[in-house]
Structure 1
Amino acid sequence: MPTPANWQAGYHSVTPRSNCPHLHDNISPNWAEVTVDVSKPCTECNDANENWRCLKCQGVFCSRYINGHAAEHHKNTSHPISVSFSDLSVWCYDCDDYITSPLLKPITTALYVSKFGEMPSNSNEIEIASEEDTTEGGEGPSNS
């Protein structure tokens, strides 16, 4: 946990939650079939900065630091999980936390390739997980 001294210095770390209960029901089954373009603007205001992609409907919306359309989308649709085009992090609005899971690796890898034009350096460690390969709570492979 960051200390107030670290906050003043501008340093803090985030440990993503690895057991988001909302993950399985909120990733579109055809996610991989949708073209990934990290330069796509917000569908509401057309701003191209700090956008997030909803993992349920594939909509692209700007962050709370631009016009807040990603949070508004969650409020209006109850779609809780989005991935950042800026840093490829994944946020669950219902958990109010960053999340991680093997289910997300193909998604973040596709975004990485769209953003940087190459596979991530740790791509040999990336395994594509399906819902059958993970536990109910989204905690990772069921055989581990």
Structure 2
Amino acid sequence: MPIVPSQAGYPVNRRTNCPHIQDHVSPDWAKVTVDVSKPCTVCNDASENWRCLECQGVFCSRYIKGHAAEHNQGTSHPISVSFSDLSTWCYACDDYVTDPLLKPIEAALHLSKFGTIPPDSGDIEIASEENSTAGGEGTSGSASKA
């Protein structure tokens, strides 16, 4: 089946100078376990969700009911990460973003989604599942090396 131009993907160039990451990403990410199957906290949809990197809330995408964007509008929490493709979006920059501070987050998401740590993760520490709270989300008492 040929690819229709409107359905073709395109490469995303992630912004490397987002000024919002430093102030709006929770510093405790190395202690947080992630469950990429967790549903939206508003509508309970689990098909395409984003996690706020400031308050850790999980909300559905603009292609479902738009609760992630509504959360940003109501709280001014600008940075969210997609459970679908593990990309990070800044609502304030209106762009995909990347930063070394996001590496532990990306590793935790990759572990939850694929069961492995990505090969380029180096010596990143992430929380182990046995230290998480009910539901696979929460702050652990101690982080384990992945």
TM-score interval for Structure 1 and Structure 2 normalised by the shorter chain: 0.7 to 0.9
Q: TM-score, normalised by structure 1?
A: 0.78
Q: TM-score, normalised by structure 2?
A: 0.77
User: Which position in structure 2 is the counterpart of 1:84?
Assistant: 82
Structure 2: tracts of 5 or more residues without a match: 126-146
| TM superposition shift of 1:12 | 1.8
| TM superposition shift of 1:10 | 1.7
Q: Find out whether 1:39 has 2:37 as its counterpart.
A: yes
User: Which position in structure 1 is the counterpart of 2:98?
Assistant: 100
**Distance in 2 between the 1:123 and 1:103 partners?**
12
Partner SS for 1:29: coil
| TM superposition shift of 1:119 | 1.5
Task: Report how many residues are paired.
Answer: 122
Structure 1: tracts of 5 or more residues without a match: 1-5, 129-144
Map residues 70-81 of structure 1 onto 2, 5 A cutoff. Answer: 70-81=68-79
User: Which position in structure 1 is the counterpart of 2:144?
Assistant: none
User: Which position in structure 2 is the counterpart of 1:120?
Assistant: 118
Runs of 4+ in 1 over 2 A off after TM superposition: 6-9, 31-35, 121-124
Partner SS for 2:23: helix
Q: How high is the sequence identity, in percent, across the aligned residues?
A: 67
| TM superposition shift of 1:35 | 2.5
User: Which position in structure 1 is the counterpart of 2:19?
Assistant: 21
Partners of 1:109 and 1:120 within 8 A in 2: yes
Q: Which has the higher contact order (CA 8 A, sep 6+)?
A: 2
